[in-house]
C-alpha cells in the first residue's frame, strides 16, 4: 500500500502540518447494542483489529466479513506532536452512516451521512500525552431510505448492487490551526472577464489590523500578489488573470484555459495576517474553466464540446468504495484516457477528493453524482438533501467537475412519472443545486422521466440497429423509451436541452468464465475481438448521430458479479485499449 502520509486528504485547502491517523485500530461489532450502556468510549473491548480507512466488509480491512453488523465501534490512541501549540482539529473524510466521536471519553461530534466529511475541534479535551479516540457507527443495513447508492440492502450482492460499506472509509486525520483562521474558500473562474472570484470565510472573528495576502502563480511564475485589509468574516475579491500574461498570444486559447487536453492550473497561496504576522496559511489551486449550455449545446470555455465519458462505479476488489492507494485513483483516470475517454460519470458515489485532485491535474471531466436512496419518504428527502448540499460545497472548486447529477433513473422517486410530490422532489433538488452552484449544469434525474433538467440524459441498452433508428432526430429520440420509461415525466417536455446517451453498452465478457451466464451484463460476447466489434457498432451510432452530443459507456471495470467492464475488476484490459481509443477518436472537438 502507498504511504498515505504524503497524500493530503483535502487537496483544495492544504496546510503544512497534519497527522494521518489511518492504520491499525481496535474494532468491535456491537450486535447486542451494549456499547453505550457499557460505556465502551471509556473501556473499549479489544477483541479485533481493523485497517482504517477500509470497511470491515473489505479484504483490505483485515476482517473481510460481509454479514450484517449494524453497529460497530473503533478505538485507537494518539499523541499530538509537541510543537502543535494551536487548536487541534480532528477530521473524517467519510463515515457510513451515523457517527458518534469520543475523545478521552467526551462526545466531541455527531454526523449523519455516509458520503461527506466532518470535523471537530478537540483542543479542550486533549491530554498532554496519550489520547483515546473512539468512534461509534450505526449503519442500518436494510434501510432503503438512506442515501446508499450501489450498496445492497441484502447480505449477498446481486444484479446491479454490490457489497455494503459500513463505518470509516476515507482518511482520518488531525491538523493544528489558529483560533482565527481561513475556514473555507470558493474560487469561481470568470473567463469572459478574464477574472477569478475569491470568496473567503474567516473563522474566529476579525479584529483591527488583520489582512489577507493572496499570491497566484502559473507554471511556477508568480503573476499576482495582493494584500487586502479585512473588516468582517466574509471576504470577496476578484483578480484579473488575463492581463497578467506578458505573452498575449496565450490569453484567448488553450495556453491558460483548463481543458482535458490542456489541464492548466493556477497555484494559490493565501495567508491570514494579524498585524503583518502570519497566523494561517493555506495552499490551493484553480482552473480557468467555464461550463455552459447555449442554444442547445454543451459548451466548454465557450466552445461546443463532445463528451466521451465512461461510467465508473469507483469500486475496488480489495477495498470496495475505498481505493487501495492514491495511485489507484490516478491509474483509473490514466486507463480511461488511454482508451480515448475524456471524462467519467462517477456513478452513485460521492468520490474521494483525491480522485478529483487527479482529475484536475490530469485533465479529466467528472460528473459529480449523489448516492441515491432506493425508496421515497419524507425522511429520505431530508437525508439526501442534507448530504447533497455538503457534497456540492465540498467539491465546488474542482475544475474537473462539469455536471451535477443529484438523481439517477428515478431511484427513490419510482412514481415521479406521474406523482406530483416526487416530481417536486426532483424539481427541488434541481433548484437546490442551482442555489448553491450557479456555474454548472444540473441533470436532475439521469436516464429518463426528466422534470426540469439542463441535460436530456438517456439510458439505452438496446442494439446498435435500434439505437440508430432512435437517434435519427430529436423527435425519435424523445419518443423512444428504451427501458419502457418515458423520457419526460407527465407535464414536462423537451426544451432544447443537449441530448446525451448517458448509459449504453454494458457488454459482458470474461475470458476466464466458461459460461458468460455466470457473470452479468446487458449483452454478452465470447472474445476480445467480439467485445471491440460490439463496442464499435454501438459507439459509432452515437458518434455519427447529428443530435447526440456525447455518451457515457457502461462501464470502466467489472464490479463483483457485473462483468461488463472494459477492464477486469483488478484493472486488467479485456482487449487492446488502442482499438477502443481509435473508435473514440473518430469524433474530435
pLDDT band (50, 70, 90) for residue 530 = very high
Question: What are the distances in angstroms from CA 485 to CA 209, 416, 478, 479?
Answer: 62, 11, 11, 10
SS3 10: coil
Tens-place pLDDT, residues 350-365:
999 999 999 999 999 9
Handedness of CA 533, 535, 538, 544 (dihedral sign): negative
- Closest C-alpha among 370, 394, 366 to residue 149: 370
CATH number given to 302-584:
3.20.20.80
**CA dist., res. 556 & res. 565, Å (int):** 5
Residue 107's pLDDT is: 98
Question: For 75-97, what is the mean pLDDT?
Answer: 95
Phi first, then psi: give them for residue 227, nearest 5 degrees.
-120, 130
DSSP string covering 263-296, please? B--EEEEEEEEETTEEEEEEEEEE-B--EEEETT
pLDDT band (50, 70, 90) for residue 47 = confident
- Closest C-alpha among 194, 98, 99 to residue 148: 98
CATH class held by domain 181-286: mainly beta
Q: Percent of the chain, pLDDT > 90?
A: 90
Grid coordinates standing for 475?
423527435
**CA dist., res. 446 & res. 467, Å (int):** 18
Q: Which fold has domain 4-176?
A: Jelly Rolls (2.60.120)
- The residues, any chain, with a CB within 8 Å of residue 38's CB and separated by 6 or more, are none
Question: For 441-460, what is the mean pLDDT?
Answer: 97
- The residues, any chain, with a CB within 8 Å of residue 479's CB and separated by 6 or more, are none
- The residues, any chain, with a CB within 8 Å of residue 10's CB and separated by 6 or more, are 91, 117, 353
DSSP string covering 340-377, please? T--EEEETT----HHHHHHHHHHT-EEEEEPPPPSS--
Does the pLDDT of residue 4 top 70, yes or no?
no
Q: Percent of the chain, pLDDT > 70?
A: 96
**CA dist., res. 351 & res. 150, Å (int):** 13
Grid coordinates standing for 374?
432506493
Q: Write the DSSP symbol of residue 379.
A: H
Does the pLDDT of residue 589 top 80, yes or no?
no
Does the pLDDT of residue 262 top 70, yes or no?
yes
With beta carbons less than 8 A apart as the criterion, state whether 509 and 516 touch.
yes
The residue assigned the cell 471537530 is 120
- The residues, any chain, with a CB within 8 Å of residue 80's CB and separated by 6 or more, are 19, 88, 126, 131, 174, 176
Helices (H), 405-470: 420-436, 464-470
Does the pLDDT of residue 131 top 70, yes or no?
yes
Residue 253's pLDDT is: 59
With beta carbons less than 8 A apart as the criterion, state whether 497 and 455 touch.
yes
Does the pLDDT of residue 252 top 70, yes or no?
no
Tens-place pLDDT, residues 298-326:
999 999 999 999 999 999 999 999 999 99
Which residues sit opposite 26 in a β-bridge?
Answer: 49, 75
Helices (H), 3-53: none
The residue assigned the cell 436541452 is 497
Tens-place pLDDT, residues 279-295:
999 999 999 999 999 99
Question: For 109-135, what is the mean pLDDT?
Answer: 96
Residue 2's pLDDT is: 32
Domain pair 4-176 / 181-286, same fold: no
With beta carbons less than 8 A apart as the criterion, state whether 22 and 3 touch.
no
Question: What are the distances in angstroms from CA 423 to CA 407, 412, 420, 538?
Answer: 12, 11, 5, 32
SS3 552: strand
Does the pLDDT of residue 248 top 70, yes or no?
no
**CA dist., res. 94 & res. 390, Å (int):** 12
pLDDT band (50, 70, 90) for residue 250 = low
Angle CA(463)–CA(468)–CA(471) in degrees, nearest 5? Answer: 120
Range of weakest confidence among 45-49, 59-63, 184-188, 503-507: 45-49
Tens-place pLDDT, residues 226-238:
999 999 999 999 9
SS3 235: strand
Average pLDDT, the chain: 94
pLDDT band (50, 70, 90) for residue 1 = very low
Residue 119's pLDDT is: 98
Residue 255's pLDDT is: 81
Residue 511's pLDDT is: 74
Residue 254's pLDDT is: 66
**CA dist., res. 272 & res. 180, Å (int):** 9
Domain boundary assignment for the chain: 4-176, 181-286, 302-584
Residue 93's pLDDT is: 98
- Closest C-alpha among 248, 194, 271, 206 to residue 15: 271
Pairing of strands 507-508, 456-459: unpaired
- Closest C-alpha among 169, 168, 163 to residue 149: 163
Question: For 260-272, what is the mean pLDDT?
Answer: 97
Question: What are the distances in angstroms from CA 44 to CA 30, 39, 57, 136, 173?
Answer: 11, 8, 21, 11, 21
Does the pLDDT of residue 46 top 90, yes or no?
no
Question: For 360-378, what is the mean pLDDT?
Answer: 97
Q: Write the DSSP symbol of residue 59.
A: G
Does the pLDDT of residue 539 top 90, yes or no?
yes
Residue 111 — left, alpha, or beta (φ > 0 → left; ψ -120 to 50 → alpha)? Answer: beta
Name the strand (E) or helix (H) holding 14: none
Question: For 575-589, what is the mean pLDDT?
Answer: 94
Grid coordinates standing for 171?
482518511
- Closest C-alpha among 217, 320, 311, 244 to residue 551: 311
Amino acid at each position: 500500500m502507498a504511504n498515505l502520509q504524503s497524500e493530503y486528504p483535502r487537496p483544495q485547502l492544504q496546510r503544512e502540518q497534519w497527522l494521518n491517523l489511518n492504520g491499525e485500530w481496535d474494532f468491535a461489532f456491537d450486535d447486542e447494542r451494549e456499547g453505550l450502556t457499557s460505556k465502551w468510549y471509556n473501556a473499549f473491548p479489544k477483541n479485533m483489529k481493523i485497517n482504517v480507512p477500509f470497511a470491515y466488509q473489505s479484504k483490505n480491512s483485515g476482517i473481510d466479513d460481509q454479514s450484517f453488523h449494524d453497529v460497530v465501534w473503533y478505538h485507537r490512541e494518539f499523541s499530538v506532536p509537541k510543537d502543535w501549540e494551536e487548536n487541534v482539529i480532528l477530521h473524517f473524510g467519510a463515515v457510513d452512516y451515523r457517527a458518534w466521536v469520543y475523545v478521552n471519553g467526551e462526545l466531541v461530534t455527531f454526523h449523519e451521512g455516509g458520503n461527506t466529511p466532518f470535523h471537530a475541534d478537540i483542543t479542550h479535551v486533549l491530554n498532554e500525552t496519550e489520547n483515546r479516540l473512539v468512534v461509534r457507527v450505526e449503519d442500518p443495513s436494510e434501510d432503503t431510505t438512506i442515501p446508499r447508492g450501489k450498496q445492497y440492502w441484502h447480505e449477498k450482492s446481486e444484479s446491479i448492487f454490490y457489497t455494503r460499506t459500513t463505518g470509516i472509509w476515507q482518511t482520518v486525520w488531525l491538523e493544528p490551526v489558529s483560533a482565527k483562521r481561513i475556514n473555507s474558500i470558493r474560487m469561481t473562474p470568470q473567463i469572459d472577464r478574464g477574472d477569478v472570484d475569491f470568496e473567503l470565510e474567516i473563522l474566529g472573528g476579525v479584529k483591527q489590523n488583520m489582512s489577507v495576502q493572496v499570491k497566484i502563480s502559473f507554471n511556477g511564475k508568480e503573476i499576482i500578489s495582493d494584500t487586502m485589509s479585512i473588516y468582517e468574516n466574509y471576504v470577496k475579491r476578484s483578480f484579473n488573470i488575463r492581463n497578467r500574461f506578458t505573452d498575449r498570444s496565450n490569453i484567448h486559447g488553450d495556453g491558460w484555459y483548463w481543458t482535458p487536453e490542456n489541464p492548466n492550473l493556477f497555484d494559490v497561496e493565501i495567508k491570514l495576517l494579524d498585524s503583518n504576522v502570519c497566523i494561517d496559511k493555506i495552499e490551493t489551486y484553480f482552473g480557468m474553466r467555464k461550463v455552459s449550455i447555449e442554444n442547445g449545446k454543451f459548451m466548454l470555455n465557450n466552445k461546443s464540446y463532445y463528451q466521451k465519458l465512461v461510467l465508473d462505479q469507483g469500486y475496488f476488489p480489495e477495498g470496495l468504495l475505498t481505493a487501495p492507494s492514491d495511485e489507484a485513483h490516478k491509474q483509473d483516470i490514466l486507463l480511461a484516457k488511454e482508451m480515448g475517454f475524456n471524462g467519467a460519470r462517477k456513478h452513485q458515489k460521492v468520490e474521494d477528493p483525491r480522485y478529483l485532485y487527479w482529475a484536475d491535474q490530469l485533465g479529466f471531466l467528472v460528473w459529480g453524482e449523489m448516492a441515491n436512496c432506493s425508496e421515497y419518504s419524507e425522511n429520505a428527502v431530508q437525508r439526501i438533501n442534507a448530504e447533497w448540499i455538503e457534497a456540492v460545497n465540498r467539491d465546488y472548486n474542482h475544475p474537473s467537475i462539469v455536471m451535477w447529477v443529484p438523481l439517477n433513473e428515478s431511484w427513490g422517486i419510482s412514481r415521479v412519472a406521474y406523482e406530483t410530490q416526487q416530481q417536486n422532489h426532483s424539481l427541488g433538488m434541481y433548484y437546490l443545486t442551482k442555489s448553491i452552484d450557479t456555474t454548472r449544469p444540473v441533470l436532475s434525474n439521469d436516464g429518463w422521466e426528466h422534470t426540469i433538467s439542463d441535460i436530456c440524459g438517456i439510458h439505452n441498452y438496446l442494439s446498435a440497429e435500434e439505437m440508430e433508428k432512435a437517434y435519427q432526430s430529436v423527435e425519435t429520440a424523445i419518443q423512444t423509451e428504451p427501458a419502457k420509461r418515458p423520457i419526460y415525466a407527465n407535464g414536462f417536455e423537451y426544451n432544447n436541452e443537449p441530448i446525451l446517451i448517458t448509459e449504453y453498452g454494458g457488454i459482458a465478457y470474461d475470458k476466464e468464465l466458461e459460461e458468460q451466464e455466470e457473470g452479468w451484463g446487458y449483452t454478452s460476447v465470447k472474445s476480445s475481438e467480439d467485445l471491440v466489434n460490439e463496442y464499435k457498432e454501438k459507439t459509432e451510432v452515437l458518434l455519427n448521430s447529428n443530435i447526440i452530443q456525447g455518451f457515457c459507456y457502461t462501464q470502466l471495470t467489472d464490479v463483483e458479479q457485473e462483468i461488463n467492464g472494459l477492464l477486469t475488476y483488478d484493472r486488467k484490459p479485456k482487449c487492446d485499449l488502442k482499438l477502443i481509443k481509435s473508435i473514440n477518436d473518430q469524433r474530435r472537438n
